[in-house]
Structure formats: C-alpha cells, structure tokens
Structure 1
Amino acid sequence: MELKQVIEKRMSIRSFTNEEVNESDLKEMVRRAGLAPTLNNSQPWKFIAITNKSKLKEMAELVISKLSDLPLRLDEIGQKRQLTKVEWYSTFFENAPSLIALIMKPHETDLDKSVNLSHDDIIQLRNYPDLQSAGASIQNILLSAVDLGYGACWLSGPMIAKEELQTYLNIESPWHLIAFVAIGKPFGYPNRPSKKSIDEIFTIIR
C-alpha cells in the first residue's frame, strides 16, 4: 500500500474481531516503530505485546479501580455519566486481540553532562524530546497496522493507572510506561471524523 493511501486510511479503531494478530506482524510493526527518530539516536525504548485475554481484562480492572478513586466534581450525577464514557475509552483494549505497551528510560544527553540542571529541568527546556520520539514511534505502529491489514488505536487513558500497570507488567525503574496501542482486525469502520482543511493549519513565513 502506498504511503499516502496508508496515511489517509488510518483512523482510530476501537472495535475488533476475534481474529488474532500474527506474531510476525507484531514484530514487523515494532521493527518499524524502532526506526523512528530519537534524541542522539538513543533509542531508549522497548515494546511489550500483550495477547493474553485474562491479563488484558485484569489490566482493564486496574484502570477502572483507579478511575473510581478519582474525586468527583459537585455535579455528581453528570460527572458519573462522564466517567462511564471515560472508562470505556480507557479500557476497550481488553477486547483487542493485541495490545502493545511502549516503555522508555531516561537518556542522558551532552547537555545533562554540561550544565547544572536536573534531567527533568533539561527535558522540560527541550520540550520533552523523549515524548516527541515516542509519538513518532507510535505513529509508525499505527501506519504499519493499516499497511498490514489491521486497525489500531493509540491509548493514553490507561495511564491514569500507570503505577499499578507498571507493577502488573513487572516494569522496573529506570523504565516507565508511556502509552499503549490496541491492534486487531477492525469490526467495521466508524464514520470518519472531519479534519481541518490545509488552509486552517498551514502558514508560510516568507
């Protein structure tokens, strides 16, 4: 499939058939993810694929439990209705054939070694280059999923239970969770959301 076609076909898929994702396809998606640019070519990441249904369910339960602990605003009925929606968008991955977790560790740059600032201060000054690299790698997964005949969805919602999920997946410091991608054969396609026109998003400074 041509790149332009893949980009234009990609959309967030949240409903999947029961068909498994071939392990070779998962590896190919991750191989392509690893080709994304990183600061100093540090490649400070690993990718974990979870295909066990019971484990996905247990992970979803951790997210639900964390959501239920969050304080509600004054309009309790309305907020509970909103939380029900958030819960679904944060846990639909339990019905996906495969879930890829992206984990990363801090990378010490030349700037870290040269100035008297903490690593956290430096990455804030540089506008979080590690997260920028994470986004690039995840986009490679999303596009590769389409190219290989699957649908996928990038999830940040489960990260509200980051600590609990890290413990469950045996992720230890300095590694930490960044995001998830749910992958599978699409169970139909939702209506494509509208996107802003090129004139709305593009400016040239001459």
Structure 2
Amino acid sequence: MELRNVIESRASVREFSTEEVCNDDLREMVRLAHLAPSVNNSQPWRFVAIKNRLLLEDMAAAVHTRILEMLPDGEDDERRRAKDQVDWFSTFFGKAPAVIAVLSRPYEAIVDCTLSDTLLSHDAMNAMRGHPDIESIGAAVENLLLAAEDMGYGACWLSGPLVAREELERLLDVSEPWRLAAMVAVGKPASTHRQREKKPLDEVFELVA
C-alpha cells in the first residue's frame, strides 16, 4: 500500500478477531518502528511483544484494580457510566491477540554534563527541550501503527493503562533506567474500520510566508 493510503486508512482498532499475530509480523512491525527518527539518534526505546494470554489478563486485571482505586463508585448513573468507559478503554488490550509494550529511557544530551554548574536539573532541561525522549517514542509508535495497517492488522495506541505503570512494569520485569511509555494492541480487526473524522485542514494549518 502506498504511504499516503496507509496514513489515510489507519484508524484505532479496539476489537479483534481470534486470529493470531505471527511472530515474524510482530518483528517486522518493530523493525519499522525502530527506523523512526529520534533525538540525536539516541533510539531511547525497547519493544516487548506479548502474546501470553495469562500475562495479558494479569496486566488488564492490574489496570482494572487501579482504576477501581482511583475512581470510586459514584452515586449517579452518569458517573458509573464514565467509570465503566474509562475501565473498558484502558483494559480491552487484555483480549487482543498481541500487545507491544514500548519502553523508554531518559535522554542524556551533551549539554547535561554542564548542568552541575547551573541551577537547572536534568528534568528541567528536558522539559525546556520539550521532552525529546517522549517525542522520539511518539515517532516510533506512529511507525508501528502504520506498519500494522500496511500489513493488514489493526492497532491501537494506549496510554490509559499507564495508571498502573508500577504494576505493569513489575509484571513485565522492567527495571531502571527503562520505563513503560506506551502500549500498542495489535490484531486482525473484528470488523471493517475507518478513520474518524478529522478537523478541517484550515483549522489546524497556518502558513507564514
């Protein structure tokens, strides 16, 4: 598929068929994600592809438990519906054929060695730079999503599960300096999907000549 067609057809898919995602396809998705640009070519990422059903169920259960702790039951139907919606959107990955956990590590620039002579901390400098490590992860995840679409799979980028980051990192045996940055659910779509309507281009584009 041509790149433009892949971009225009990509959509977030949250319901999948039971068809397995083969290991070679997961590896190819990650290979293409790994070609993304990153700050100073630091490539501050690792990708963990998970197909183990028990592990995925445990991960989803950990997120569900955390959401119950964070969002106590409300007294009205609207609050309960909102809580149920947050829970579903954060835990549906437990039924996906595969999930790719994206790990990141802090970016350390050449300028960081001079910070000891200033009042700026590493975190403050990173914030001033717009968190280039997280920007790099975003580029890699976009490559991953487009690769999945091009290969006939559906995928969805998740941040909701990170409310249970510590529990998920423990289940995945993630240790410093690595941190769980995002998750991508992958599988064959259960039904046809199309991209949701976007804002008019004139609403988001400005040309300064």
Q: State whether TM-score is above 0.5.
A: yes
Q: Is the 8 A contact 1:38 1:130 kept in 2?
A: yes
Identity of aligned residues (%): 46
Aligned runs of 1:61-100 on 2, under 5 Å?
A: 61-72=61-72, 77-100=77-100
Match of 2:145 in 1: 142
Give 1:77 deviation, angstroms. Answer: 4.4
Give 1:179 deviation, angstroms. Answer: 0.4
Partner of 2:70, secondary structure, is coil
Aligned CA-pair RMSD: 1.5
Match of 2:15 in 1: 15
Q: 1:75 to 1:121 in 2, by over 3 A?
A: farther
Partner of 1:196, secondary structure, is coil
Which whole-Å CA distance do the structure 1 matches of 2:169 and 2:151 have between them?
Answer: 29
Output the amino acid matched with 1:90: S
Aligned runs of 1:145-156 on 2, under 5 Å?
A: 145-156=148-159
Partner of 1:170, secondary structure, is coil
Which whole-Å CA distance do the structure 2 matches of 1:175 and 1:62 have between them?
Answer: 20
Which whole-Å CA distance do the structure 2 matches of 1:190 and 1:35 have between them?
Answer: 27
Give 1:167 deviation, angstroms. Answer: 0.8
Give 1:150 deviation, angstroms. Answer: 0.4
**Would you say 1:184 and 2:187 are equivalent positions?**
yes
Give 1:3 deviation, angstroms. Answer: 0.2
**Would you say 1:48 and 2:48 are equivalent positions?**
yes
Give 1:193 deviation, angstroms. Answer: 1.9
Which whole-Å CA distance do the structure 2 matches of 1:165 and 1:98 have between them?
Answer: 16
Please identify, of 171-180 and 114-123, the stretch whose mean Cα deviation from structure 2 is larger.
114-123
Count residues with an aligned counterpart.
206
Which whole-Å CA distance do the structure 2 matches of 1:2 and 1:48 have between them?
Answer: 28
Unaligned runs of 5+ residues in structure 2 are: none
Q: Structure 2-normalised TM-score?
A: 0.94
Partner of 1:174, secondary structure, is coil
Partner of 2:183, secondary structure, is strand
**Would you say 1:133 and 2:136 are equivalent positions?**
yes
Q: Structure 1-normalised TM-score?
A: 0.95
Give 1:130 deviation, angstroms. Answer: 0.9
Match of 1:205 in 2: 208
Match of 1:58 in 2: 58
Please identify, of 91-100 and 190-199, the stretch whose mean Cα deviation from structure 2 is larger.
190-199
- Structure 1 runs (4+) greater than 6 angstroms displaced: none
Aligned runs of 1:105-116 on 2, under 5 Å?
A: 105-115=105-115, 116=118
Q: Is the 8 A contact 2:44 2:106 kept in 1?
A: yes
Output the amino acid matched with 1:53: R
